[in-house]
Every structure is written in C-alpha cells, then in structure tokens.
Amino acid sequence: MSVSSPEGLTTQAYIKHHLQNLQVGDGFWSLNIDSLFFSVLLGIVFLCIFGFVAKKATSGVPGKLQCFVELVISFVDSNVREIFSGKSRLIAPLALTIFVWVFLMNLMDLIPVDFLPYAAQQMGVSHLRVVPSADVSVTMSMAIGVFFLIIIYTFKFKGGIGFIKEYTLHPFNHWIFIPINLVLELVTLIAKPLSLGLRLFGNMYAGELIFILIAGLLPWWSQWVLSLPWAIFHILIITLQAFIFMVLTIVYLSMASATDEDH
C-alpha cells in the first residue's frame, strides 16, 4: 500500500523514518545519540528551573513559577511520606527528580512530530527522535538504576545476614525451601525493573506511534482533528506515567528497607 506522507514517502517509510534513532556504533554497543542528548538536556532544564526558584525563593507573596515548584515539591513529599516507611535523605530528592525528569521527557511527545526532525534535516541530521522515554534503552537504564538501589537499600537496612535471609527464607521460612525461595525471590526481583522500564516505554512508544500515524495518514490541514483530542488526552497519560514510575520506585525501596520489626 502506498500512501503519500508529508515528506513524499510512503506511509511505511515515513513511520520507519520517524521511529529510527540517530545512532553511533553497531549492534548491542550502539548509542542513541538523540535520546541521550534530549534526556541530558531535559535533566539540565529541570536542575536550572528548580535551582533558580530555590535561589529566588521569597517568604513573601511568591510568583507563579515559585508557586508551581512548591506545589510539585509538596505533592511529591506527601507521597513519599505516605509510602516510604524508613528514614533516608535520598528518597524525597530521588522521587522529585524521577517525577519531573520523566514528565519532561514524556512532554516532548506533544511537540509536532515533524517539527524538530525537519529542523534537524536542514542541519544535515538524517534521523531524530525527541521523546527519550519512548526509547527502551533509556527507560530500562533508569529501571536498572532503581534495581541497584533496591539491592543497596536491602543490604544497608538489613545487613549482610538479613540480605541473605531476604532471598533464601522468604516466603517459606525453613531451610529446606531455600532453593525454591531463591528462585521465587530472584524472579520477583528481576521482574521489578523489567516491569518498571517496559511499562513506561510501552505507553510512550504507543503514544508517539499514534501521533506519527496521524501525521502519516492525513494531510497536514486536517491532522488537528485527531491530533488535538489525542494530545489533550495524552497530557493525562504522560503525567500518570511519570507518577507511576515515581511511586513504584518509592514502593520498591520501601520494601527493600523494611525490617522484620516493620512488619
């Protein structure tokens, strides 16, 4: 089937072009330069905005930006207090970073699909994907980071012996079930980062693909009929996915830090 796209390509070629990252290297060791660039850029934007507000914060009547930042911090802090039962100075800043950073990465999906790629082509860049959270390598890298935090928190709060008991004496508290417990706990442990990273990737990839399909199948003057309602609905999705990633991270770390006395 050959359907003209906004770039004169077939629909299939148009979709494939927009779903291809700007890469260096081959195979497993290839790097998606565009995903790395936008994820780092958005991280810097987050730090600059919140750092600026922190320096300019006033006890008097706050400005709109300060009110917004304080609202976000209060929202994240209330969720951390409700979910995390232990004591750690890292959890609240980590939760805030995850929520805002993932939200900003998701927010890139609302930029018209041809806008930045077309600008990049004018500068000689052949491919450009602007939604880092629609790249499985980015979402799984973040999930692997959470995985290592789970291991660290389990060892920190439960000690070496408690760490071993966590994966050998649960759920069946008897030495004869150690092999079964170990298999069950390892499967559960590995499933946490997999579900965390793939959930975010799947939702954002699907959202990105729908925008691309609308742009590829409809003429430019009629795309707003479908893209505008989807964009409005997608605002809820990108916020919800950032919230879910943050909450699950807190839950996993709370479970890792829980001692026998907490149960």
- What would the pLDDT profile of 160-206 be if each residue is shown by its tens digit? 888 888 888 888 888 888 899 899 999 999 999 999 999 999 999 99
Per DSSP, the chain holds a count of helices (H) and strands (E) of 8, 2
CA distance 263 to 259: 7
Catalytic residues: 195, 199, 203
Write down the residue that tokens 């060791």 correspond to.
29
Cα 199 from chain centroid (whole Å): 9
pLDDT < 70: residue spans in the chain: 1-9, 260-263
Q: Return the pLDDT at 260.
A: 58
The 3-state secondary structure of 110-152, one letter per residue: HCCCCHHHHHHHHCCCCCCCCCHHHCHHHHHHHHHHHHHHHHH
Tallying the residues shown for the chain, one arrives at 263
Q: Return the pLDDT at 162.
A: 86
Cα 174 from chain centroid (whole Å): 39
SS3 81: helix
Q: Return the pLDDT at 2.
A: 37
Q: Return the pLDDT at 262.
A: 53
Q: Return the pLDDT at 8.
A: 58
CA distance 184 to 182: 6
